[in-house]
Amino acid sequence: MKLLKSVLISSLLAAASFSASAKTEIINGAGASFPHPIYAKWAEEYQKETGIRINYQAIGSGGGIRQITAKTVDFGASDAPLDVKKLAKEDMIQFPMVMGAIVPVINVPGIEPGALKLTGKILADIYMGNIKKWNDERISALNPGVNIPNQAIYVVHRSDGSGTTYNFTDYLSRVSSEWKENIGKNTDITWPKKATTIGGNGNAGVANFVRRTRGAIGYVEYAYAKQNSLTYTQLASADGKFLQPNMDTFQAAAANADWANAPGFRLLLNNQPGADSWPMTAATFILMHKDQKNAKKAQHIIDFFEWSYEKGGDFAVGLDYIPMPEAVVEMVENVWKKDLTTDGKTIIK
């Protein structure tokens, strides 16, 4: 009898579990790898609190834009913001979710994290293949007293369509006229043939290749540098001061962001003025269609983003991202209320 009771209870529990899982709302998003660590953390905490599952795939900004355009996901994510014409054409809204920083990471024997100084111009020359050895006189002159080996440089870049690449090449275009004139900025570029290059998929792929390749340099979101224990460099600010990548320098750069005068929230934060402003700082964006076929699901999506703004700040700071200011969140909420509709009726009250 006890055995039968046990079997019956187990069956009932299994049925209850199946019923609960069947009712679980799943929201699908895809795109930028830059914010993946914080989106994964927010999704984990939000599911604990609400039971709603956020399934986010870090496939790169280009993939995220393609999937949301094709309506195969509920939201897309990109570090390369779309211009207002593209948004209008696709009938989409765009809003910034969080800010973070891009850092140069290296694998040079004997060099400790934060010990090596680089300028934007030198970084551009490395990626153009104008500087091929770590002990090049231009690098050595910036780093007296640092024992830099005679090591060949291997340039690691993104192999996928990447908003991180868009922001990185935007920065290089601002600090190097040669880069701007000959290469420019985009999510996917033709990398200079003079450099010895390696392509990695996503921020994680770049981090992995840098970690495995002696002499490598790459660019990743700071959370990936920390998670992979990579050696980051100092970088000169727009005012010429050499800075360590940390929350103070990231926030100094973010403080100058003029979101109120950015149509479609399209704003790049590279090379902001101020001696203490980290020069490669970027926002990451969410893309959604204005016309939502399922009003209930759309409300669930917005509830998640609103929760992330209101309760996710500490998690963001813990992973070295910068939460969006309250004034910007209010602007975003007004866009939700005005533009998200089902059958011509607004969804968000």
Kindly state the average pLDDT of the residues 106-132.
Answer: 98
pLDDT of residue 22: 38
Question: pLDDT tens, 271-303?
Answer: 999 999 999 999 999 999 999 999 999 999 999
Kindly state the average pLDDT of the residues 247-275.
Answer: 94
In the predicted model, is pLDDT for residue 1 greater than 50? no
Confidence of residue 21 (pLDDT cuts 50, 70, 90): very low
pLDDT of residue 310: 98
pLDDT of residue 83: 95
Mean pLDDT, the chain, as a whole number? Answer: 92
Q: Which residue has the tokens 């601002």?
A: 174
Whether 254 contacts 263, CB under 8 Å: no
Backbone angles phi, psi at 25, to 5 degrees: -75, 130
**Number of neighbouring beta carbons within 10 Å of residue 213:** 15
Question: pLDDT tens, 199-238?
Answer: 999 999 999 999 999 999 999 999 999 989 999 999 999 9
Predicted structure pTM score: 0.88
Whether 220 contacts 206, CB under 8 Å: yes
Give CA angle at 196 (191, 198), nearest 5°: 70
pLDDT of residue 348: 84
Kindly state the average pLDDT of the residues 164-182.
Answer: 98
Question: pLDDT tens, 33-73?
Answer: 999 999 999 999 999 999 999 999 999 999 999 999 999 99
Report residue 54 as tokens. 């956020």
Percentage of the chain modeled with pLDDT above 90? 90
pLDDT of residue 17: 39
Per CATH, which fold does 102-257 belong to? D-Maltodextrin-Binding Protein; domain 2 (3.40.190)
pLDDT of residue 23: 55
**Which of 81, 70, 35, 71 has its CA nearest to residue 56?**
35
Whether 271 contacts 278, CB under 8 Å: no
In the predicted model, is pLDDT for residue 192 greater than 80? yes
Would the CATH topology of 26-100+281-346 be identical to that of 102-257?
Answer: yes
pLDDT of residue 153: 98
In the predicted model, is pLDDT for residue 98 greater than 50? yes
In the predicted model, is pLDDT for residue 2 greater than 90? no
The domain segmentation of the chain, as residue ranges, is 26-100+281-346, 102-257
In the predicted model, is pLDDT for residue 349 greater than 90? no
Per CATH, which fold does 26-100+281-346 belong to? D-Maltodextrin-Binding Protein; domain 2 (3.40.190)
